[in-house]
Structure 1
Amino acid sequence: MTKMTDTQTLILTRASARPGNLALPLPEGLHGAAAKMAVGRMIKLGWIEEVEANLRRDEPLWRETGDGHGTTLIATEAGLDAIGIEPVVVRTMAGLRDAKPEAIAAAQRPGTKQAQLIAMLQRPEGASIAEIAEATGWQHHSIRGAISGSLKKKLGLTVTSEKLAERGRVYKLSSS
Structure 2
Amino acid sequence: MTKTKPKPSRKTKAALLRDMLERPDGAKLDDLCKATGWQAHTVRAALSGLRKAGHIIERGRDATGQSVYRIATPPEAGQ
TM-score by length of 2: 0.75
Q: Which runs of 4+ in 1 moved over 4 A?
A: none
Cα displacement (A) at 1:175: 2.7
The answer to whether the Cα contact below 8 Å between 2:55 and 2:73 also exists between their aligned partners in 1 is no
Structure 2 counterparts to residues 129-148 of structure 1, below 5 A:
129-148=29-48
CA RMSD of aligned residues (A): 1.8
CA contact (8 A) 1:128 1:167 kept: no
Cα separation, 2, equivalents of 1:135 and 1:156: 23
Gaps of 5+ in 2: 1-8, 75-79
Aligned sequence identity (%): 38
Q: Distance in 2 between matches of 1:172 and 1:113?
A: 16
Alignment-derived partner of residue 51 in structure 2 = 152
Aligned counterparts, 1:105-144, within 5 A: 111-144=11-44
Q: Which has the larger radius of gyration?
A: 1
State the secondary structure of the residue aligned to 1:111: coil
Q: Are the counterparts in 2 of residues 127 and 172 from structure 1 also a CA contact under 8 Å?
A: yes
Aligned residues: 66
Give a deviation string over 1:16-48, Cα, whole Å, max 9, x none: xxxxxxxxxxxxxxxxxxxxxxxxxxxxxxxxx
**Whole-angstrom CA distance in 2 between matches of 1:142 and 1:169:** 16
Unpaired runs of 5+ residues, structure 1, are: 1-108
1:26-79 per-residue CA deviation (whole Å, 9 max, x = no partner) reads xxxxxxxxxxxxxxxxxxxxxxxxxxxxxxxxxxxxxxxxxxxxxxxxxxxxxx
Taking structure 1 as the reference length, the TM-score comes to 0.35
**Match runs of 1:95-110 below 5 Å:** none
Structure 1 distance, partners of 2:32, 2:25, is: 13
Higher helix share: 1
Q: Give the superposition deviation at 1:167.
A: 5.9
Q: Pick closer, same or farther for the CA change 1:132–1:111 going to 2, 3 Å.
A: same
How far has the Cα of 1:163 moved from its partner? 1.8
